[in-house]
Amino acid sequence: MSIPEYQSIMLPLLKLAADGNPHSIGDSSVVLSKEFGLTQEENDRLLPSGKQGVFHNRVGWARTYLKKAGLVTATGRGYVCITPRGREVLKENVTRIDRKYLARFAEFQEFQLLHRDKSSEKREIPTPENETPIEQIEYAYEQIMEELEGELLQQLKIASPSKFEHVVIDLLVEMGYGGNRQDAATAIGRSGDEGLDGVIDEDKLGINKIYIQAKRWADNNIRHSDIRNFIGSLDVAHADKGVFITTSDFNDDALEAAQKSSKKIVTINGNRLAKLMIEHDIGVSREDSFIIKRMDTDYFVE
């Protein structure tokens, strides 16, 4: 049997998760490989980059689509468990789960449209028939980044207070604030159940100060009252600049309060926080890179 395409892996993967235990991609790949009867040669087959197995990669993408449809959910580092919705799907005794089937769920429909910018025009997922190879590569890259952002945000929301503190400090230092890590950690102080706060140097000489507040909230958004309290904290700290970070989001009235304040307030929601972590290599590692070349026609000019 040839290596199955990722959509054919979705249902077996969901059935595997039906035992209620957390499953990693590695463990799932081993079990499903035996279920599909793959040979050693097929198990050893690598992607063109030579850094990941083809089947392992396809199991990963099958898991991604199941997560986007709400059939499984992340429970820890690299692990997922079946959700109540996933159990309901299995009760239907479906013979195949693919993207067409998952389209019945609103979360998956949203995933299928590009939501990089709420104000941007929505675009359907490209296909080989209507997109150039470069466009397909760029869209695939966007998908990978979107999935990575979601994974990071999920980990932040379930991280311990101390781990959340370390992430924020590492990010701020990498962005050039707070001097060295020890100074930044001392300035910010200890974290509580819902977040951390403190005053950090904006420049290496410590001439300017920035008040930092970070809330590790899973669901509740930052409200107008939270921003007003933040502005009060700026006054107490004798600071006229502040950065408010949250793993959730800001209500419209909270954003308006921040924009209208006489203080300079930067708001960073969960999605932007994840993007900044990727940009500054916090909590991520570089797996591969590709260089796309084109013919240099000037070279052949006599």
Q: 76 CB contacts (<8 Å, ≥6 apart)? A: 22, 158
Domain boundaries, the chain: 6-112, 161-279
> Within 10 Å of residue 212's Cβ, how many Cβ atoms?
27
Three-state DSSP class for 127? coil
CA distances from 232 to 189, 225, 235 (A): 19, 11, 5
Q: What average pLDDT does range 182-193 have in this prediction?
A: 63
Percent of residues, the chain, with pLDDT higher than 70: 86
- Note the pLDDT tens digit of each residue in 211-221: 888 898 887 89
CATH code of 161-279, in short, is: 3.40.1340.10
Average predicted confidence (pLDDT) for the chain: 84
Class of domain 6-112: mainly alpha
